[in-house]
Structure formats: C-alpha cells, structure tokens
Amino acid sequence: MSRKSRRISTPDPGDTWVPRSRRRESPLALAGHAVKFLGYSTLAGVLLAGVALPAAGALGLTAKNTADSFEDIPDDFKTPPLSQASQIFDAKGGLIAKVYERDRTVIPADQMSPLIRQAQVDIEDARFYEHGAVDLKGVLRAATKNAESGTTVQGASTLTQQYVKNVNVEKAGDDQAAVLEAQRKTIGRKIQELKYAIKLEEDLTKDQILTNYLNITFYGHQAYGIQAASQRYFSKDAKDLTVPEAATLAGLVQNPSQYDPKLHPVAAQKRRDTVIDKMVENKHLTAAQAREAKATPLGLKYKDPQNGCITANAGTGFFCDYVRHVVKQDPVFGKSAAERKKLWDQGGLNIYTTLDPEKQTAAQNAVTKKVYVTDPVSAAITMVEPGSGKILAMAQTRPYGLDPNKNQTVVNYNVDAAMGGGNGFQPGSNFKPIVAAAALEAGLPATQIYPSPNRMDWPTIKTCDGTWKNLDKGKKGGSIPNESEKEAGPYDLKQAMALSVNTYFVQMEQEIGLCAVKQMANKLGVATKASGDPLQELPALGLGTQEVSPLVMANVYATFAAEGTYCAPLAINRITTVDGKDVPVVPEKCDRVMSEDTADVINTVLLGVTEKGTARELGLDGDRQIAGKTGTTDEKKSAWFSGYTANLAASVWLGGPAKGVPMKNIRIGGKYYAEIFGATGPGPIWQLAMNQALKGVPEDTFDTVYIPDPPKRDPSASGSGSPSGSGAAPTGTAPTGGRAADPGRPRSTQPTQAAQPTQPIELPRPTEQDGGDRTDGSQSDG
C-alpha cells in the first residue's frame, strides 16, 4: 500500500491501521521523498550518470536526457585571472592611491592563517577533505531536511561547487544580467556546476581549491578575498588573524549583509560563535579555546574602502588621474581601449611613478599658501626633470573631488584635455622663447636687432601653406602695441626678451615665417592647443594667444635646460604584477630638437630675464642660477611664470579656471593686487615651490655664451635702428650663426659672468612689474 499512514497503540491486542489525512506537499518535498525512495545506491548511479539534483526524476528530468546534457557541457573549465586592486606609488615607494574594480589582493596559501582556512571549511563544508566534487551524504541530509520542512533550509553544494559558482560570477564582471544568470538556481546551472567541479577536483588538490576559494569569495563592504577582508575589518594581513577574527570572517560568507559586523554586530557575533562551535565539533579547537574566543569582543578595526584617485594622499589626486589616463591611452598597455581599461580596473598592478614626494609637497604647499581655495582664481604648477621628462610634481589650488560647494574639481589644470584637463590657458609671453629658438635655428644671430616700434600693424607673414595677410589695418585688431608707451626700439634679443617687447617678436616672426614657429613649438611638445585643436598659424601665435597647459610649458623650458634635448612627459617608472613580474611601460623618449648652441643662447637670454628683466625679483636662496620667462595675457586673465635651474624646470599658471577672471583690483591669498603680472602672481608661487624643492640639492649650472651688447643709441638720432628683417648686427659685434661669441672664448661654466657683457645693458625699467606681456585679446583671431 503506497498511501502513507501512521500506526497507533490501542487496548486491543491487535494492531489497528488508521489512515492519515493527506497534506498538500510542495515539489521540493516530493523531491525529498523521491531521494529517500531511491536510496544511496540509486542516487550514486544517477549522479554518476550526470544528474546534478536528486530531484531530477521527480521533476520529470530523466536520467538519460540529464546524462546527455551533462555530456554536452564542455569540460575545459577555465578560471579567469581574478580582478585585483592596483596600487600607485610615488618615486620613493609611498602609496598614492589604490584603484580597483574589485578590492582584492590574491595571496598564496602560506600567507593565510591556518585558522581562517580551517574555520571556512568547518562552517561551509566540514567534509571537504573527505568527499569528491559531490558530497552524497550532504545531498541526502539536505534533501531530507528540506523535505521535512517543505522549504529550502539546507544546501548541499560542496565548497568546490561554490567556487565554480563564484568563478562564473567573476566572469560576469559588471554585467548584471550575466551575474543573475550565473546565480540562477536551475537544474541546468547545477548540472554545469557539477561537471566543472568534477573537472576541478581532477586538476587541483583540495588545498589549491580552498586557496582559490578564499581568494575569490565576497566578504562584504567591497572586500573580495580573505586578504582584502582582513584589511577591511581588522586592519591586518590574513596571515595574522586570530581565532575570533577568523571565525567572524568565515561566518560572513553565507550572508555578508545579514552578518555584517559593522552594521549588525550582535548578529555577527552570534554567527562567529556558531563558527567557533563548528570548529570544536570538528576537533579543531578545544573547549577552553572556544570559551576564550567567545569571550573576546568583535574587536573591529574597520577601514572604509579607499578606491580611486579621489582617495589619493596630500594633493596627489590630479597626478594619480594623469597616470590613469596614461595607462588607458598608451598602446603599450594594450592594443585596444577595452584591454587598457581592463588592465587599469582589474590588473592587480604595482605602479611605481616618477612623482617625487618632497617636490610634490613643495608644489602643493606653494599653490595653497599663495592662493586660497576660496579665491576667485586658482593656481597650478608642474615640475619636470630636464633630460628625462619625468614629472616630479603636479599640484593645484583646487582640491581633487566632486563637490563644487567645497571648490573641488576633477579637472586637472596642469594638463591637456585629452589627459584629464580642460582647454588650457593663454601663456602670453611665456611663448616668446619658442619664437627665439625657431629664429636661432633658422640662422638668425643672437645679436639680432629689430626696430620694434611702440605699435605696429600686423605684417604679412609666410605660413606653411601660404601667406597670412592683415585685413584689419586701421582697426583695433589690426595692430599690436607694446605694454609701455616708453617701449620703442631698436632692441636686440637680450633686451627684447628681458622687457618682453611684443613688436620685436612679431618682426622676428615676419622674418622667419609662422611655419618655423609652429614647427619649433611642435618639436618642443606643443603639438596642439590644450583642447586638442591644431595650432593656428596666426601672428599672435608667438605672443601666446593659443591655449596650453603648465605641463606642456614646463617641458618646453626643461628642453632649454637640457641643452636642446626634448623628452616626452614621463609619469611611470615601472609596473609589476602582484607576483613581481614586470609589465612593459612607456619608455623614456628623448630627441634633440635644437642645437646645443641654440639652447645655450636661449639659456643666456632667459638668464637675463631673471637678472635684469621682468623676473628680477624672483631669485632663489643661495643665489642659485635660474632662467625663466614671465607671461601675462590681455585683461590679466592668465598670468604665468616658467623658470628652471639646470636640473629642475617648473611652470606656474594663475587665473580663473572657467572663462578667465580679470585679475585687477583683486585679493588673492589674502593679499590685495591692483593688477596681476607674471612676476607678481605666479612668480612668487614658483619661487616658494622651487626654494623648498631644491633644498639640499647640489647646484648645477647652464652652459652660457657671450652675447655682446648693441652699440649705445645716440639720443639725438632720429632713426630707429636696423630695418625690420635685415638681420644686421650692430657695429663691433661678432655674431657666429646661432652663437654670438668671442671666437676664442670657450663655453662658459660660470653663467653669471658669461651673461654679463663688458659694458652692462642699460634697459629702461618697465612701467609695470611685468612690462611687455600684453597681448590684445582681438589678436587671437589674427
């Protein structure tokens, strides 16, 4: 008789059978009855045939079609490289930031405490080391429990099967549909997991599977793997976990939300004690050890997840973000954008950068001390090592962040738009040394003189593809003035650079052509505007009306310091994987872009700017030799100072981040300014940063050349000097191509003396601190 009944005792010596009332039972309960009916031998046969669930028959899935499905599943189960956190370090090994898609650090078994390995097995799969891929006893026990309750109260998956499921979730990544599919509780999914589990147990030892499981599983609060979990909850490595700590973490795996020790400490402690009891039950702890462990408080030393450049230390967020752009854009890190993104998000890399922590501190201190975060303007500074292109510091006043109410920004004012910056800023007269370098390379002498009138019409100038003509003669935008009414030539190169005379450099452009200026700019790293748009061949190009970034300008001046060798900006020294293998990085790329003679003349001329010109107040401690150039744009919306020693170049920009702020009658850093110039605004920032950055660094000097002065002008003379474009040198000088030097004079290693001619230059003092840096805004359109 198949109908179920129960036997009861009565006074009658015979037995009486009383039928039991029928109860509606769920399919899961029926499955459990089917399992018990089949028995151990039948269940074993079904499983060997490929049936993953004991309820297969009860649910209409025959052993044959299940076996066919089982055989159709490929057995080449592959475990993907686990997504791991990457760490970014400065040049001296200090951690800048940790970035990850999943916070995980894969560690070997010997870096895991034996306690966490045992605790995880005891609570998840106590017979793990005794059964194969499937635990037949566990299946029967779970099926019986579930059948009796009518619901799923106990699972039967082994730790190996759980590992397979976690691998499928890992493969799904951020694809939520794929994640849900990997977690769906279907017969097909269980069959697949079983076959893969069988394959794994053939290929790996139990210890290897356990190690993999502990590295892949999720412990809550963005912590994947036991190392990240140990650091998250207890601020220690997994190898140092104690009994109560190991039990707490092992208990989390079943339900990280329900047993969250930070949010639900009571539930977490109860679950921890359950794990400890299991360890006693399986004879891995003594009763005394268990009592001691249970008496211990949870003892959390919780650390919030720290992910991304937004968590970077001491103002290094912008440099961190620049490194991110390098990895995601340079083909050396992957052929496709998707490959490079995956490397950044999941690579588990140790990225050792060029950032010098002392110089970074100096730069950050200078921009935040001289310009307050609440000021209407901001400042940015980049420091570059001449001869290598290494970025040693990158700082700005506005902090890295997403809250505009705190004046935060994620726009890096130091770099071009493609690398996380904005559209850049007009450099003003900071650009004039590029014009001079182009002229010297074209064969003009260092003694070149131009009439340099106080104001002149924009001249007709040759371009790479034709000729630029002034169609606005007689109109406001059709002419170019000098800053001061007293600035009227003739001037030679030394005088014109020291006073920043606009008309001198326009006449120089006229002689050599705009194509030569553009090509020299390209060689010096000014390949485009900061926005990515091409440089326009307009006469105002040489006066700095096309937007650039501080990194680009710092590298221009670093090239002068390196005697004409340009090195592409370099942010990464070395990358290794967590197991110590080197990853290819962007190599140092340096090229000679001008002769040493040209560089020496530029260095000599820019030395004069800091000794007698617009930057004469910006000397460094110990009278350290410096060269540089100021720059201020129309309406004082941007002000610059780019300067360098022989071993460090830095460029500082000051201005309004968006659309510009006219810096007149303005308070910056608690100080009032009637007008801002390159020497009064960014100059002191540069001075403060460089003094601190170079403290204790031995002084190195430039090779300079002797450039004779032009003959003194006769005040009664009505002429204005040599005609524009003549290239004529004053009487008594000895120009020798790009180098104007005494024929028998060796290259000087004493630049201060070499930069001073036998008869000192008598320069008219500019009426403003930064005279000559004005560029009429209308000129940017030619």
Q: Is 501 helix (H, G, I), strand (E, B) or coil?
A: coil
- Alpha helices in 442-562, H assignment, sequence order: 493-499, 502-512, 514-523, 550-561
Cα torsion at 90, 91, 92, 97 (round to 10°)?
Answer: 10
Average pLDDT over residues 566-592: 93
For the ranges 70-84, 154-168, 231-245, 380-394, which has the lowest average pLDDT?
70-84
Q: Tell me if 620 sits within 8 A of 628, measured CB to CB.
A: no
63: pLDDT strictly greater than 60: no
More confident residue, 777 or 236: 236
Q: Cβ contacts of residue 498 below 8 Å, gap of 6+?
A: 605, 608, 609, 612, 613, 614, 761, 763
Per-residue confidence (pLDDT) for residue 59, from 0 to 100: 34
Average pLDDT over residues 386-409: 93
Of 307, 115, 138, 131, residue with least CA distance to 223: 307
399: left (phi over 0), alpha (psi -120 to 50) or beta: beta
82: pLDDT strictly greater than 90: no
How far apart are the C-alpha atoms of 454 and 473, rounded to whole Å?
Answer: 16
771: pLDDT strictly greater than 50: no
Average pLDDT over residues 773-779: 37
For the ranges 302-306, 465-469, 573-577, which has the lowest average pLDDT?
302-306
Q: Tell me if 679 sits within 8 A of 769, measured CB to CB.
A: yes
638: pLDDT strictly greater than 80: yes
Per-residue confidence (pLDDT) for residue 53, from 0 to 100: 40
> Quick one: DSSP state of residue 476?
G
Tokens of 96: 């800048």
Tokens of 148: 């009796």
Q: No. of H helices and E strands in the chain?
A: 23, 24
Other C-beta atoms closer than 10 Å to the C-beta of 723 total 14
How far apart are the C-alpha atoms of 645 and 598, rounded to whole Å?
Answer: 17
Average pLDDT along the chain: 81
Q: What string of H, E and C letters represents the secondary structure of 657-716?
A: CCCCCCCEEEEECCEEEEECCCCCCHHHHHHHHHHHHCCCCCCCCCCECCCCCCCCCCCC
Q: Tens of pLDDT along 571-582? A: 999 999 877 889
Tokens of 723: 């005609």
How far apart are the C-alpha atoms of 685 and 52, rounded to whole Å?
Answer: 71
Per-residue confidence (pLDDT) for residue 580, from 0 to 100: 84
Which residue has 């403003």 as its token pair?
A: 768
Per-residue confidence (pLDDT) for residue 673, from 0 to 100: 96
Average pLDDT over residues 444-453: 96
Main-chain phi, psi angles of 576, to 5 degrees: -130, 155
Q: Cβ contacts of residue 553 below 8 Å, gap of 6+?
A: 427, 430, 640, 642, 651
pTM of the model: 0.77
Identify whether 459 is preceded by a cis peptide bond (ω within 30 of 0): no
47: pLDDT strictly greater than 60: no
Pairing of strands 349-353, 86-89: parallel
Q: Cβ contacts of residue 120 below 8 Å, gap of 6+?
A: 159, 210, 213, 214, 250, 253
Per-residue confidence (pLDDT) for residue 101, from 0 to 100: 84
> Positive or negative, the Cα torsion across 259, 265, 267, 273?
positive
> Positive or negative, the Cα torsion across 661, 663, 665, 671?
positive
Tokens of 690: 């460089």
Average pLDDT over residues 228-251: 97
